[in-house]
Amino acid sequence: MAAIPPPSPLTIGGREFVWGSRTFLVGIVNVTPDSFSGDGVGLDVDAAVALALRLEAEGADVIDVGGESTRPDAEPVSAEEELRRVLPVIERLVQEANVPVSVDTSKAGVAEAALEAGAAMVNDVRGLRGDPQMPGVVARFGVPAVVMHNQRGRPYCELMADIRAGLETSIALAEAAGVPRERLILDPGFGFGWSVGHNLEILRRLPELRSLGRPLLVGTSRKSTIGAVLGLPVEERLFGTAASVAIAIANGADIVRVHDVKEMREVCRFADAVVRGWSPPEEAK
């Protein structure tokens, strides 16, 4: 079978992302009091900005700011509360960070305000399917979007068939609103409505999604599947995360979304050396 070429480069916030050249890192900033990973900074804007700038210094290519926990038992928050959490942080980061800022939201109103404040991308864990206004907002601002297949509350047929169908639905919604598929990044939804076995299978079968022709983002960082396999609490899942990131890269991930950027940057560099090829630097003459 012929190798599938990487998708064409994508510009995010003025920066060009050349898929296939290396694995890119999205650093997580949870502006929440109830993040599953225990890293939420609540309404402390200074702490959120400091965290984001540290992640940038450690090698993050994008900073993803979210104001609503997506763990299964989390209490939903209103758009007003979500904006109260994320907007001051995004406004600061647009001025202080040197990498693009993404807003992690499924609400069109939150996305619109964040984009007006200077955010350069929308990361929607409902894949443009949760708010009918979201595709139009993404189209109007002309920004890229990460669209996830979220299996929560959906009937199960077959793992990869369900993921593929969900992602194709998101692509169709985007295109119908005027968002070209070339501006989309696809997320298979590791941890969103799947069993531990399903999540492990997603990583094994990730290459099946390459034929969709878009870059793949994978988010395994500190998630409960790692805890279930290793029998470890969330604060002790660094090495399990590292293993999952390396496997994701080996199977075709273009971007990984992580909490521990410094450590995962090293994982990415070594995995990339194997997967994408590496040559030693020329000796100084």
Read off the pLDDT of residues 115-124 as tens digits, 9 standing for 90 and up: 999 999 999 9
- In degrees, rounded to 5, the angle at the alpha carbon of residue 244 between the alpha carbons of residues 187 and 182 is 25
Task: Catalytic residue, from 257, 262, 269, 285: name it.
Answer: 257
- Would 273 be classed as within a structural domain? no
Q: What is the pLDDT of residue 69?
A: 83
Residue 37 has pLDDT above 50, yes or no: no
Three-state DSSP at 243 gives: helix
* Residue 285 bears catalytic tag: no
- Would 283 be classed as within a structural domain? no
- Would 10 be classed as within a structural domain? no
Residue 137 has pLDDT above 80, yes or no: yes
- Would 44 be classed as within a structural domain? yes
CATH number, residue 109: 3.20.20.20
- Would 139 be classed as within a structural domain? yes
Q: What is the pLDDT of residue 278?
A: 83
Residue 126 has pLDDT above 60, yes or no: yes
Instruction: Quote the pTM value.
Output: 0.94
Using a pLDDT cut of 70, give the percent of the chain over it.
95
Q: At what angle do helices 159-177 and 134-141 cross, to 10 degrees?
A: 60
Q: Which domain holds residue 107?
A: 24-215
88: left (phi over 0), alpha (psi -120 to 50) or beta: alpha
Indicate the burial class of 278 (C-beta count within 10 angstroms; 0-12, 13-18, 19 or more). Answer: exposed
Task: Catalytic residue, from 22, 85, 183, 223: name it.
Answer: 223
Say if CB 147 and CB 183 are below 8 A apart.
Answer: no
Gap between the Cα atoms of 252 and 65, Å rounded:
25
- Would 73 be classed as within a structural domain? yes
- Would 241 be classed as within a structural domain? no
- Would 46 be classed as within a structural domain? yes
Say if CB 10 and CB 215 are below 8 A apart.
Answer: yes
* Residue 265 bears catalytic tag: no
